[in-house]
Amino acid sequence: MNRLNKTLATVALAGSVAAMSAPAMARDTISIVGSSTVYPFATVVAERFGTKTDFKTPKLESTGSGGGMKLFCQGIGTQHPDITNASRRMKASEYEMCQKNGVTDITEFRIGSDGIVIASSKDAQNLELSLEQLFLALGSKVPVNGEWVANPNKNWSDVDSSLPNKPIRVMGPPPTSGTRDSFNELALAAGCDALPEAESLSKDDHKAICESVREDGAFIEAGENDNLIVQKLIGDTDMYGVFGFSFLEENADRLQAATLDGKVPTADAIAAEEYPVARSLFFYVKQAHVGVIPGIQEFVEEFTSNAAMGQNGYLKSVGLIVPPRDQLMTLMDKAENMPKLALEELK
């Protein structure tokens, strides 16, 4: 009985201690949410920031661009994140949601670019594709005599006689991947829009037809393991692979990239958005939290520093296509002054 009383007393005590510490809700760790594409870069910056400075290492959640915006725009206060990453620009509707919830002052940082390439082994015949041809080769439905039918093209040469007479076989990321989303939106949809038949499509049909990859075996979903795709490409010269530019760069001695609309994917062409399948990466800072949560300003300065995003920066070695020097200088100014983002800029 005595023992039991003691146990109960201990439990009650521990419970009340836990309850008493509850009001201490202040947060001293920066909280970051958002895009899984930016996540590998932001985590590296966060870790460096944590080892370099006396601030705690920021906490990162990979929620996807849209999910991050939702959390970010939920309001001001320590339970809401301070920074959100995005692999696309903030939408006007998201900006308005932020405003409605009191998140009025936001600063936007464009931190570099990401390109998607179609690569093959150096021993394979390289492709020179237009976006239109790419869509005709990989789209789930293509127009034949004005009718949208399941893609009948078996060989590259069925699409255009200038292309190799080899079966269409392309390995790429699964639908859960952000790379796949961008590939659908930037490459396939753009190629589809180049076709005269696409003009008459309704908005829903456009999304269903122009942004979907064929599922008859010509496009092989390879999981997120890019190493595996590279091994496959080297072993099989009839195979082509779709992945992020950084991976092409790492394996530049063994892989070559197809040209799209005559543009070779190089870091410069992607940074300048000349290469058609390129997108910018962003992060957004909540100004109301700067100065409240320690280290936000310093973290942003670290992210935009020359050590991170310069031509020899560590983000470049993990595959980010860094912005040119003049853009980096603008970013540095932004990190110091934190200008407010206006709705007009997003439209």
Partner 1 sequence: MTDQRSQAEIVRQSLKRRYRKERRFRAYGILAIGIALSALVILFTDIIGKGYTGFMKTTITMEVNLDGDMMYLDDPTDSRQLKMADFVEPLIQALIKEIPGATEEDREEVRGLINPYASVTLRDALKANPDWLNTTRTMSFLSHTDVDVYVKHAGDAAYSIKLDDQQKAWVETLLERGAIETSFNDTFFSGGDSRDPSKAGILGAIVGSLLTMFVTLILSFPIGIAAAIYLEEFAPQNKFTDFIEVNINNLAAVPSIIFGLLGLAVFINLFGMPRSVPVVGGLVLTLMTLPTIIISSRAAIKSVPPSIREAAEGVGASKMQVVLHHVLPLAMPGMLTGSIIGMAQALGETAPLLLIGMVAFIVDVPGGFFDSATVLPVQVFLWAGSPELAFIERASAAIMVLLTFLISMNALAIWMRKRLERRW
* Interface residue list for partner 1 (CB under 8 A): 1, 4, 8, 11-12, 14-15, 18, 21-22, 24-25, 27, 29, 31, 39-40, 43-44, 46-47, 50-52, 56-57, 59-62, 77-79, 81, 224-228, 230-231, 250-251, 253, 314, 318
Kindly state the smallest distance separating residue 210's Cβ from partner 1, in Å. Answer: 29
Closer to partner 1 by Cβ: residue 42 or 142: 42
Closer to partner 1 by Cβ: residue 148 or 314: 314
Kindly state the smallest distance separating residue 124's Cβ from partner 1, in Å. Answer: 18
Kindly state the smallest distance separating residue 222's Cβ from partner 1, in Å. Answer: 12
Closer to partner 1 by Cβ: residue 60 or 106: 60
Kindly state the smallest distance separating residue 205's Cβ from partner 1, in Å. Answer: 34
Kindly state the smallest distance separating residue 323's Cβ from partner 1, in Å. Answer: 21
Kindly state the smallest distance separating residue 68's Cβ from partner 1, in Å. Answer: 12
Closer to partner 1 by Cβ: residue 167 or 319: 319
Cα distance between residue 184 and residue 342, in whole Å: 29
Q: Are 110 and 327 in contact (CB under 8 A)?
A: yes
Kindly state the smallest distance separating residue 240's Cβ from partner 1, in Å. Answer: 19
Closer to partner 1 by Cβ: residue 21 or 200: 21
Closer to partner 1 by Cβ: residue 143 or 310: 310
Cα distance between residue 76 and residue 71, in whole Å: 11
Cα distance between residue 250 and residue 230, in whole Å: 11
- DSSP string covering 159-191, please? H-TTS-SSB--EEE--TTSHHHHHIIIIIIHHH
* CA 22 to chain centroid: 37
Using CA atoms, how far residue 141 sits from 134, 151, 155, 177, 188, in Å, is 12, 5, 16, 22, 11
Closer to partner 1 by Cβ: residue 9 or 149: 9
Cα distance between residue 162 and residue 208, in whole Å: 29
Q: What is the DSSP letter of 198?
A: G
Cα distance between residue 149 and residue 101, in whole Å: 46
Q: Would you say the C-alpha torsion 204, 279, 250, 260 has a positive or negative sign?
A: positive
Q: What is the DSSP letter of 210?
A: H
